Structure 1
Amino acid sequence: MIDDALSRRAALGVALLPGSPLDSADLDRLVRWRDDARLRAGDAAEALALARDIAPHVGGGVSTATRWSALATIARADLTVARAVEPHLDAQDILATATAVDLAAIGAGPSSTWGVFAAESPDTRLEAQDRPPAARLSGTKPWCSLAGRLSHALVTAHTDRGSRALFAVALGSAAITVRDDAWVARGLSGVPSGPVDFHDVSAVPVGADGWYLERAGFAWGGIGVAAIWWGGALGLADSLARSASTREPDQIALSHLGAVDAALHAAGVSLAHAAAIVDAGGATRSEARILAARTRSIVARAVEETLSRCGHSLGPAPLALDAEHARRVADLTLYVRQHHAERDDAALGRALVTEGAR
């Protein structure tokens, strides 16, 4: 029986950032959300109900470590559920910090479910035209997760002033075409993220041009996604721990188990460090961007090492015969590719050179 930090975390089944200041009520909620995520495993539609339940408990005034621990705990249980929950929470944060957003104009309320569509593609473009008091969106937006199941979304679009701005839209309009058939992924198959066509759709501005991308919260949201990668990797590490506990492990299995524990602990410390900086406030946009890039890179490397070592240690059997494990590997392999590997490392290097941060 292997009795180490990794297996103790597995027994609890939550994902706490190292040093997280959680009280008993916080921990009880994490355990409940873990159980809810397990019940909703693979079902994005059910996950949206969980997102509405979680939002009031991880909004303003809650420590960032608690918030990211919640995301990681849900991801440890099921990545499909986490992938549906995260953008809803991100949208709530964005709307809470924006001013004078007329959500009633698009029929949004407490029961709304939200996505955030901010990706860009060289092949598509979404344009916004001012028609006060609203705006009109036309064109195609790529990578729109669950657009066919959400009631509303925050969407970035190019303005006629040569910038990008954020807009709130209702997704039920007949002027919106969701192309779920473009999503052929085997990972996160329950979270279709194909393109969406907008045909002169009414939208409500959220902040001024550039506000969404320039705010520090944009970087913090990117680290929140990394917390989900980390939680998903902890779920894979659970498989290693169970394997070592149910049969006598050889030195190779022990080596993989130890290396994964060290890598994921380091990633957790990096996330905890970032959470403390977020809560301390005062980070400049440059500092926030660099911290996010560093943290995401550290976590992505730990996730990739976990995927590799699990494959080497456990062999093909769980990939072929264990549906939960196979789905987690496929989901996490796709999800972590939101980190663009060497390209994101190069962007970090460029920021260090041009902005002089260390």
Structure 2
Amino acid sequence: MSPVEEFLALTEELPLPGAGETARRFDQLWALAARSPQLGRLAEAHFDAVAILAEAGRSAAPGQRFGVWAAGGPDPATLRRTDAGLRLVGTKHWCSGASIVSHALVTARQDTGNAAADDRGVGGSGGERGGGVDTNALVLVDLSAPGVTMGESDWQSAAFAAIDTRSVAFDLAVDEDSVIGVDDWYLRRRGFWHGAVGVAACWAGAISGIVERSVGHIPTDPHAQAHLGAIDAELWNLRALISAAAAEIDADHGEQERERRRRALRVRHLVDEAIGSIVAHLTRAAGPRLLAHVGDVHQQLAEVELYRRQCHAERDLEILGELARPRPPLDPDRSEPAASAGA
């Protein structure tokens, strides 16, 4: 059975993040990605969508398979209010599972041209975020609906080719109930950064599965054994890291957004760094035979490398550095951080 077929046949139900069993959720995501990076990539997005819907008080119907399409790009998807009702128009890029999933949660710019038309913020001027500020809605789209057009695939890499990432164009009417959230609810909700840790659990699971399938091809000379020992320690550390993050998430009783974000960025950085170390140890220990002659190890390593680039490296570290600094004290008369002496 291919990873795509495994995804479509999944019967697992994962606990929701932050509901007391986050460690079990992350363990299951880890295990799915360990079976195949492709399976992990598809399953993580599906279960993230299920959690997003639950956070909005919705539920997924049995048999539905979801993608979460939130990338930007030219001709952005836009939720527009017309005289005939809501319409989703424009294009989403980097739509993973485009021809595989049945539904997608799509972020779409809210049209700012009709502020009075909608008291929910759709078609308004930014809703609670303030007039004139572009914000995004989150829309549930049935991909079998007329007006959904799959673009031609321009994917060049063998890595993740099977999960079919391409651009998708929209020009269709949507009902009010399909609007899951407005005014950047997708980004502002409590579960956004919990989901970001779940992605890191999949990165870690993917490399652990590759190691498990490769151990029998690693020589037993002292240098190779030392590399394998280093890999073992790194994987144990990753398990401990994901487990600790899950415990913190379940203990979250009113954390500020900056703390949830800080935890997620810490975890993603540490997992990214650890995978780089594991790949170096693995390829040095095993030599070229593992990459050239053993199954699809070379492709799966390429998929892990591509997958973990969802970590934005130094860009994320810059943000983490800002979050690590104490916040300026609040000015009691202004209810906002006091200006610095040099301002």
Q: Which residue in 1 is equivalent to 2:137?
A: 165
Q: Say which structure is richer in helix.
A: 1
Higher gyration radius (CA):
2
* Residues 1:88 and 1:62: Cα distance change in structure 2 (over 3 Å): farther
> TM-score, length-normalised on structure 1?
0.78
* Residues 1:221 and 1:312: Cα distance change in structure 2 (over 3 Å): same
Q: Would you say 1:146 and 2:97 are equivalent positions? A: yes
Relative to structure 2, which stretch is displaced further, 81-90 or 320-329? 320-329
Q: Whole-Å Cα distance in 1 between the matches of residues 155 and 309 of structure 2?
A: 16
Q: Which residue in 2 is equivalent to 1:114?
A: 66
Identity of aligned residues (%): 33
SS across alignment from 1:141: strand
Contact persistence 2:45–2:67 (CA under 8 A): yes
* Residues 1:235 and 1:253: Cα distance change in structure 2 (over 3 Å): same
Q: Which residue in 1 is equivalent to 2:240?
A: 269
* Residues 1:131 and 1:330: Cα distance change in structure 2 (over 3 Å): same
Q: Would you say 1:87 and 2:45 are equivalent positions? A: yes
Q: Would you say 1:207 and 2:181 are equivalent positions? A: yes
Q: Whole-Å Cα distance in 1 between the matches of residues 191 and 327 of structure 2?
A: 19
* Residues 1:240 and 1:151: Cα distance change in structure 2 (over 3 Å): closer
Q: Whole-Å Cα distance in 1 between the matches of residues 85 and 284 of structure 2?
A: 55
Contact persistence 1:187–1:333 (CA under 8 A): no
Q: Whole-Å Cα distance in 2 between the matches of residues 251 and 341 of structure 1?
A: 33
Q: Whole-Å Cα distance in 2 between the matches of residues 269 and 64 of structure 1?
A: 14
> What's the CA shift string for 1:234-273, capped at 9, x where partnerless?
12322453235xx5x2222122112222222222211111
Q: Whole-Å Cα distance in 2 between the matches of residues 213 and 275 of structure 1?
A: 20
Match of 2:7 among 25, 47, 62: 47
The amino acid of 1:81's aligned partner reads: L
* Residues 1:164 and 1:355: Cα distance change in structure 2 (over 3 Å): farther
> What's the CA shift string for 1:12-42, capped at 9, x where partnerless?
xxxxxxxxxxxxxxxxxxxxxxxxxxxx3x4
* Cα shift at 1:120: 2.0
Q: Whole-Å Cα distance in 1 between the matches of residues 282 and 273 of structure 2?
A: 14
Match of 1:237 among 196, 202, 211: 211
SS across alignment from 2:94: coil
Q: How many residues align?
A: 303
Contact persistence 2:265–2:316 (CA under 8 A): yes
SS across alignment from 1:183: coil
* Cα shift at 1:70: 0.6
Q: Whole-Å Cα distance in 2 between the matches of residues 315 and 180 of structure 1?
A: 38
Q: Which residue in 1 is equivalent to 2:34?
A: 76
**Displacement over 6 Å in runs of 4+:** none
Matches within 5 A, 1:246-325: 247=219, 249-282=220-253, 283-325=255-297
